[in-house]
Each structure stands twice: as C-alpha cells, then as structure tokens.
C-alpha cells in the first residue's frame, strides 16, 4: 500500500509539468502578441511602470541593488578620467550607477523616464553627494540639455559638458527602433568629451530559432515583430537583442568608434561596449 501511494504521488507531481509547459506556451504567445499589437508608447509605459515598482531599482527599498557590476568597475578604472570628473548617466533607474560614482568622488547628472524612480533617487541624495536627478528618456535629451543638443550641431570637445558617460544597465536595449538607438548614441557623443559605456542584450540564437520567430512574425504580420531580435518579457518589458555587426553599424552611424567590446556575459560580466567620439583619443 505504501509503495502504491508513493507511486501515485510521484506520478502526480510529474504530471504537474504540464502546468509549466502550458505557462511557457502562454508566455511565448503573450510576448509575440504584445510585440505585434502593442504600440511603442504602450511598451515604453509598461517599462516605466515595471521598473518603477521593482524594489531592486528603488533606493528607498532594502532590496535596492547598490553596487557596480564587475564589468562597470573595470570600465571605469580602465577608461574613465579620475574624480571629480563630470559623468552623465542615462536610463539611471533609481541611481545605482549614479550613487556608486558619486561615492567615488564623481560629479553625476542622471536621468530616467520613470518619475517615481527619479523622485526616489533625488530623495536619496545625501549631503556631500554630487548627484543631479532629471526626469526624461533618451528621446528627451534635447529638452534636458537644450544648449548643447537643440541646434543639432556637434560641439568642440572642450565645450562638451561631460567627461564620461554611461547608458544605464540594459537601458539601451529598451529603445524600440534603430533610429532611436542611433540618435541616443549620437546625443551622448555630442555631450561627452570621453568614454561612453553602453551595455546590451547579445543575440546568440539556437539553430532554427530565427526561422521559428520569422514564421510567427509573418503570421502576425505587423508590429514590432517585423524587426528580428525584438523580445517582450512581462518581467522586464520590451528589449532588443543585438549582434556584433548591428552594434558596429549603430556606432558608426552615430559618429562614434569602439575602444572595447565584450560579449562573453560570464563571470559577472555583461555584454557591453566602450565608445568614444571619433574626434577623440584616450591615452
């Protein structure tokens, strides 16, 4: 009797795998349908709401992620000028990178589209910490820095207000079109007289994945599914996966060049590139 009950119990637990398979299918279809039917405005707003309510991005939460990643520390140590240099941080969330830089003595201007995160970041700035928090997206940069960007003309290096810059962790991947990606990089190049750190989601497809995605995209027929590499997750929102040729093309179109590129994504690292305006060199 005991063995029979054990057999039934084990088989019952095994049968619950169907729930996981069903959810996986639902999640996959939800992702594709959201990309096909959701407008860019809807996806941008979802990202704002999702990140704004995530405790690891909120400095007023005990779960706030405070430290820099290993790859960020390496990039700062190897390429950034010493404090008190001025650093621009876009897609700053609740200020993880901004606070870590300020604690090292840097002067930081940070911006993010989530009003709740920017308010939490501003409220967490302590005495002696040089952090200015602004509300805005990458598309809002001409409004945030009107003297430098509204004319569209490039500035001489000496006139650029920042010595280094960071596009906050993965924020570049949330931009929904190639034109937006190029413009964001171009604007950072116009503002920065030094290195620019950008992280991204690296596209490493399994065999046949591109074909499967293509068939479903053709079936849906419209929306952001038209661009290969676009993904939606209910946990992190819309994001775009890049391959090396695409990154190189975007950098070139933005008038920048690469000082370094890392795509291994292991041992605490994240795929990222170190960029610099073409009229600069780092010794």
**Per-residue pLDDT tens listing for the chain (283 residues):** 778 887 787 788 888 898 888 888 888 888 888 788 878 888 888 888 888 788 888 989 888 888 999 999 999 999 999 999 999 999 999 999 999 999 999 999 999 999 999 999 999 998 889 999 999 999 999 999 999 998 777 789 889 999 999 999 989 999 999 999 999 999 999 999 999 999 998 875 543 444 444 555 555 555 566 678 888 888 888 899 999 999 999 999 999 999 999 887 666 678 999 999 999 876 6
Contacts of 143 (CB under 8 A, 6+ apart): 136
Q: Does domain 38-203+243-277 have CATH number 3.40.50.150?
A: yes
d(CA 230, CA 237): 11
Pull the structure tokens for residue 246. 């695409």
Sheet of 201-202: strands edge to edge? 201-202, 237-242, 230-233
Strand partners, 65: none
DSSP, collapsed to helix, strand or coil, labels residue 4 as helix
d(CA 140, CA 124): 23
**pLDDT given at position 29:** 85
Domain ranges of the chain: 38-203+243-277
Reported pTM: 0.86
259 backbone dihedrals φ, ψ, rounded to 5°: -90, -25
165 backbone dihedrals φ, ψ, rounded to 5°: -150, 155
DSSP, collapsed to helix, strand or coil, labels residue 90 as strand
Query: Is there a cis peptide before residue 127, judged by omega within 30 degrees of 0?
Result: no
């Amino acid at each position: 009797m005991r063995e029979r009950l054990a057999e039934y119990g084990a088989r019952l637990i095994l049968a619950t795998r169907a729930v996981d398979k069903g959810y996986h299918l639902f999640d996959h279809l939800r992702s594709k349908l959201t990309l096909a039917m959701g407008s860019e405005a809807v996806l941008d707003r979802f990202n704002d709401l999702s990140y704004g309510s995530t405790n690891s991005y909120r400095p007023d939460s005990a779960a706030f992620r405070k430290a820099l990643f290993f790859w960020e520390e390496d990039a700062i140590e190897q390429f950034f000028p010493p404090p008190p240099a001025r650093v621009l941080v876009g897609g700053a969330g609740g200020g993880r990178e901004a606070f870590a830089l300020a604690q090292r003595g840097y002067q930081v201007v940070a911006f993010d589209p989530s009003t709740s995160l920017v308010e939490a970041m501003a409220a967490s700035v302590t005495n002696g910490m040089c952090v200015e928090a602004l509300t805005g997206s990458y598309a809002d940069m001409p409004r945030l820095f009107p003297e430098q960007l509204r004319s569209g003309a490039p500035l001489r290096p000496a006139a650029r207000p920042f010595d280094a810059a960071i596009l906050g962790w993965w924020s570049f991947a949330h931009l929904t079109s190639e034109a937006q990606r190029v413009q964001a990089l171009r604007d950072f190049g116009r503002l920065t007289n030094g290195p620019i750190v950008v992280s991204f989601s690296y596209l490493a497809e399994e065999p046949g994945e591109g074909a499967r995605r293509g068939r479903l995209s053709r079936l849906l027929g419209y929306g952001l599914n038209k661009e290969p590499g676009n993904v939606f997750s209910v946990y992190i929102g819309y994001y775009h996966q890049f391959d090396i040729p695409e990154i190189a093309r975007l950098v070139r179109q933005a008038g920048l060049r690469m000082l370094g590129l890392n795509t291994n994504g292991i041992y605490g690292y994240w795929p990222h590139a170190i960029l610099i305006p073409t009229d600069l060199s780092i010794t």
